[in-house]
Amino acid sequence: MSTSASLTHTAALARFGHALGDPTRTRVLLALRDGPARPSDLADALDVSRQVMSNQLACLRGCGLVEAIPDGRRTWYRLADAHLAPALDELLRVVLHVEPDCCDGEACTC
């Protein structure tokens, strides 16, 4: 593998990791596996404010993981690549053993 391809892969995985590093963004990505959704519906389903949802969607757009689809006065969001839904499904299948004293659910103290 060339160095430039390795750097590209590293950057892409780092963006994906950043997106998954926030529980709300993770829940948004998981919700969008089922198909496009409007921000207001996502906010209601995930029990967050519309402002929080707007910020999280902006971050996910910036990471290249979701895209906005204008529909008149409304906007729908969907996963930006068809490979993302199966990748998320595979990640869900990974079983991790987490040491109880290592991570508190928000930050690793190891």
- The pLDDT, as a whole number, for residue 110 is 53
Q: Is the pLDDT of residue 22 over 60?
A: yes
Q: Domain residue spans in the chain?
A: 3-93
pLDDT in tens, 35-56: 999 999 999 999 999 999 999 9
Q: 50-62 and 23-32 are packed helices; what angle lies between their axes, rounded to 10 degrees? A: 80
pLDDT in tens, 52-104: 999 999 999 999 999 999 999 999 999 999 999 999 998 888 766 556 566 65
- CATH 1.10.10.10 for domain 3-93, yes or no, is yes
- The pLDDT, as a whole number, for residue 94 is 79
For 75, the enclosing helix (H) or strand (E) is: strand 74-79
